[in-house]
Amino acid sequence: MSKLVSAAHAASLIKDGMVVSVSSSSGLGCPDAVLAAIGERFDTEGHPKAITTLHPIAAGDMYGIKGIDHLAKPGLLKRTLCGSYPSGPSSAEPPQIWKMIGDNSVAAYNVPSGILFDMHREAAAKRPGVLTKVGLDTFADPRHQGCAMNEAAGEPIVSVQQFDGEEWLYFRAIVPNVSIIRATSADERGNLTYEHEGAYLGGLEQALAARNNGGIVIAQVKRVVENGTLKPHDVRVPGVLVDHIVVAPDQLQTTQTPYDPAISGEIFRPLSTFRTPEMNVQKVIARRVAMELRDGMAVNIGFGISANVPRILLEEGQHGKVTWVIEQGAVGGVPLLDFKFGCASNAEAIMPSPHQFIYFQAGGFDASLLSFLQIDRHGSVNVSKLSARPHVTAGAGGFVDITSRAKKIVFSGFFNAGAKLSLADGGIRIDQEGKVKKVVEEVEHISFSGKRAVAQGQDITYVTERCVMRLTPDGLMVTELAPGIDLERDVLAQADIPLAIANDLKVTPASLYQDRPIGLSLNGGASLGGAHGLSLNGGASLGGAHG
């Protein structure tokens, strides 16, 4: 019996009240044709009703791949658990899913991506749920929001449990009735290969979770090939787990990208083809972040200013000294920017995303470079919620998993919001002060717990255009000041909380503000900026208790 079906037939298999798991990371690997068919069926038939969807990373974007927005219809979608949600500029029309979250017409949860993958693995093995320390003292903790995004999310999905003398978060496994995954090729038996994909994501775990519990697995692919023509080592999801195949020959590789063979590792791009950042304030911040790295590190990066750090290393002739690891699964190469974020060119390997999260959750890597929306007096960081403009942030994604035990984290961003800044006289000039303070008494949403970081001895740094701060047991300490910045007027007066000042307050190296390579070396021994230079060998004093 052929497994090949139309998208409309696949949509007819979704029954009222089912739990549906969807494999996707924004536009990357999104089975958009199947999701569109489900939405179209609801528009014409009024079914399926009241479904729950699970999205370990995210489904869809605001730039042409609707993903979860195909399902964001009152009556169709009852509950959704997502690592993140479609996001975009505040000037853009919010996606339908955000409108439903705002008016409480869907019970919405933001669950750390790695934990959602763990929940699938436990469901697949018919174990009750996940015991984890990931998320303690963050918005995932039931003593805060318990992952709930609105009042409609009243049913608890997480509790605090004592086990073996320690405190843990317990997430009950949720069994999917249907898993919708995506690949490049399927043979007639349903074996799936991913040769044009930018990541494997978690399709295998999601398929196992449905199949082992009597559910069905729908695979969207670009093409069907003859049995026996796929190499067994290339098959990522075996056909015994796949019930139905939907062919969508025009599926995009990722957001606004039909196909780029360097993303799927089929070719390697010359390093000269990667653009380096233009000279501006963001580049200065990225340069300063790069100075925190050392030769041989395995380093995770997130969206925002820190995403440019690999390009800084390229420009400085240091590419290859650091191995980049991103949550979608790429290891090595050059992580990509903008619409292709989450993919890498020239990767050394692509791991399944659930396995990459195991690596992150246990702190097996060396450092993470991430952004911030707010920082509070405890050193806690918010990246996951901005009530005034909710669709500007996607939610936490893998942020909580990545930061929970990371040995070293460098957060980067602007000191406040809305300031007009320029580079002048070898430093920073504030042409107009911003109106929104980002260093606050309490963050709106705890995406990262400064309290736990101190208790665990994590090395935490915050790099802004005005100063560098370190997290100490007593709170935030300013350890370095940018040239052209007045400590009292531009830093202390622009924070809602008192900031400690290091006894040996440094000045950021002047070379960072010049439009030429800065002479960065991650090998150790070199220094930048004369008397105020910071050593790159890991032994320099950066102020106060962190000297």
Residue tagged 């692919």 (tokens): 221
Q: How many angstroms separate the CA atoms of 465 and 454, rounded?
A: 24
Convert the pLDDT of each residue in 452-486 to its tens digit.
Answer: 999 999 999 999 999 999 999 999 999 999 999 99
Q: Please report, for residues 83, 110, 192, 395, 450, the alpha-carbon distance to residue 148 in angstroms, rounded to integers and kept in the order given.
A: 12, 7, 35, 12, 21
- pLDDT (0 to 100) of residue 1: 76
Q: What is the pTM of this model?
A: 0.94
Q: Establish how many alpha carbons lie within 13 A of residue 415's alpha carbon, considering only the half-sphere containing its beta carbon.
A: 29
- Residue 122 among the catalytic residues: no
Distance between CA atoms of residues 216 and 402, nearest Å: 31
Please give the pLDDT value at position 91: 87
Measured between alpha carbons, how far is 525 from 523 in angstroms, rounded to an integer? 7
Which pLDDT belongs to residue 402? Answer: 98
CA dihedral 133, 138, 144, 148 (to 10 degrees): -90
Strands 427-432 vs 420-424: parallel, antiparallel or unpaired: antiparallel
Closest CA to 414 of 399, 401, 432: 432
Tell me the backbone φ, ψ of residue 534, rounded to 5 degrees.
Answer: -110, 125
* Beta carbons within 8 Å of 371's beta carbon, 6+ residues apart: 302, 303, 304, 305, 306, 383, 411, 412, 413
Q: Using DSSP bridges, classify how beta strands 374-376 and 439-440 pair: parallel, antiparallel or unpaired.
A: parallel
pLDDT at 303: 87
Alpha carbon distance 119, 507 (integer Å): 47
Summarised one tens digit per residue, pLDDT across range 39-48 is: 999 999 999 9
Chain mean position to CA 92: 21
pLDDT given for residue 524 in this prediction: 55
Q: Are strands 459-463 and 467-472 parallel, antiparallel or unpaired?
A: antiparallel
Phi and psi at residue 232, in whole multiples of 5°? -60, -35
Q: pLDDT tens, 236-273?
A: 999 999 999 999 999 999 999 999 999 999 999 999 99
Q: What is the DSSP letter of 25?
A: B
Residue 152 C-alpha from the chain's centroid: 25
First to last CA, the chain: 69
Residue 47's pLDDT is what?
98
**Per annotation, catalytic residue among 292, 315, 316, 327:** 327
Count of beta carbons in the 10 Å neighbourhood of residue 364: 13
Q: Phi, psi (5° rounding) for residue 157?
A: -115, -5
Tell the burial category of 251 from Cβ atoms under 10 Å away from its Cβ (0-12, 13-18, 19+): buried
Q: What is the dihedral of CA 44, 253, 358, 461, to 10 degrees?
A: -110
Alpha-carbon Rg of the chain, whole angstroms? 24
Closest CA to 443 of 371, 374, 522: 374
Q: What are phi and psi of 237, to 5 degrees?
A: -130, 115
Q: Is the omega angle on the peptide bond into residue 48 within 30 degrees of 0, that is, cis?
A: yes
Q: How confident is the chain (547 residues) per 10-residue block, as mean pLDDT?
A: 95 98 97 98 98 97 96 98 93 94 98 98 98 98 98 97 97 98 98 98 98 98 97 98 98 96 96 95 98 98 94 96 97 94 96 98 98 97 89 93 98 96 93 95 97 98 98 97 97 97 96 95 54 35 31
